[in-house]
């Protein structure tokens, strides 16, 4: 039976903070074979790829109020059983990205131009994901001004920045 370390990023996100570093810090505290039980106010889709790189499988479970419980289990261990989706009630969940951009080898500011162009075509509530070489600090104010929300952080290789952008619903 896998043991799980609880990480609740809901207060961080509610305060407008950036949860990625808290999650990465938790990973460093894990013992051999231990997994992470993450609580988030939305389905943290971009995190799944990051954690897969680090050797964790995920299983996500929508809770009441649109919040999510996600179990990250070391790939070698047997995933614990999680309750199935309770009732399909997923207000606030971030859907799988409709568009995936790999902007890693584009010359700046092309990555930003393409993300804004693609974001403008999203339907309300839809998301897009993008891979970048660095934190797009000049993009954030533009996204914010247009009412988009975003979640991003460096992947485990430290060289790829994974960004998910969600259109206002």
Partner 1 sequence: MIGGNISRWTMTYFAAALTWLLAALALMAAGIGHPATDVAAPDTLVLVHVICVGWLSTAMCGALFQFVPVLLAKPLFSERLALPALGLLTAGLIALLAGFMALGGRLPSAPWLLPLGAVLLVAGFGLVIVDLGLTAWLRPTGPARFVLVGLASLCTTVTFGAVFAFALAGWAGPVGDAVLARGIPLHATAGLGGWLTLTAMGVSYRLLSMFMLAPDVEDRQSRQTLAAGGLAVAAAVGGGAFAIGLGMGLNAVFSVAALLGLTCAALYGRDVAGVFRSRKRHHLELNMRMAMLSFASLAGTAVLGVALVSMGTLPLHLGAFAFLTVFGWLSGLVLAKLYKIVAFLTWLETYGPVMGRAATPRVQDLAAEQRATKWFAIYYLAVWAGTLALLAGEPSAFRIAAAAMTVGVIGIIHEIIRIRRLEDVAPPLRLPAGSVAPHLLFAKT
Binding region for partner 1 (CB under 8 A): 105, 107-110, 112-120, 133-142, 144-145, 159
> CA separation (Å) from 81 to 3, 55, 71, 96, 126?
13, 18, 9, 23, 29
State which residue, 4 or 104, has the beta carbon closest to partner 1.
104
State which residue, 62 or 101, has the beta carbon closest to partner 1.
101
Tell me the C-alpha distance between 56 and 22, whole Å: 17
State which residue, 67 or 126, has the beta carbon closest to partner 1.
126
Question: Residue 114 CB, nearest distance to partner 1 (Å)?
Answer: 8
Question: Residue 120 CB, nearest distance to partner 1 (Å)?
Answer: 5
131: β partners = 102, 162
State which residue, 88 or 141, has the beta carbon closest to partner 1.
141
Question: Residue 162 CB, nearest distance to partner 1 (Å)?
Answer: 16
- 139 is written with which tokens? 């993009």
Question: Residue 116 CB, nearest distance to partner 1 (Å)?
Answer: 3
Tell me the C-alpha distance between 89 and 86, whole Å: 7
Question: Residue 26 CB, nearest distance to partner 1 (Å)?
Answer: 20
State which residue, 54 or 114, has the beta carbon closest to partner 1.
114
């Amino acid at each position: 039976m896998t043991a799980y370390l609880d990480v609740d990023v809901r207060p961080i996100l509610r305060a407008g903070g950036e949860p990625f570093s808290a999650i990465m810090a938790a990973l460093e505290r894990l013992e051999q074979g231990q997994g992470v039980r993450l609580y988030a106010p939305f389905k943290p889709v971009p995190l799944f790829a990051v954690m897969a790189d680090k050797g964790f499988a995920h299983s996500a479970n929508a809770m009441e109020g649109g919040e999510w419980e996600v179990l990250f289990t070391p790939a070698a261990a047997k995933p614990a059983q999680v309750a199935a989706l309770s009732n399909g009630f997923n207000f606030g969940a971030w859907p799988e990205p409709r568009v995936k951009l790999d902007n890693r080898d584009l010359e700046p500011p092309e990555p930003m131009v393409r993300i804004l162009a693609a974001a403008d075509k999203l339907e309300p509530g839809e998301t897009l994901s993008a891979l970048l070489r660095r934190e797009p600090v000049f993009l954030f104010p533009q996204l914010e001004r247009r009412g988009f929300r975003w979640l991003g952080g460096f992947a485990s290789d430290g060289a790829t920045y994974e960004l998910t952008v969600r259109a206002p619903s």
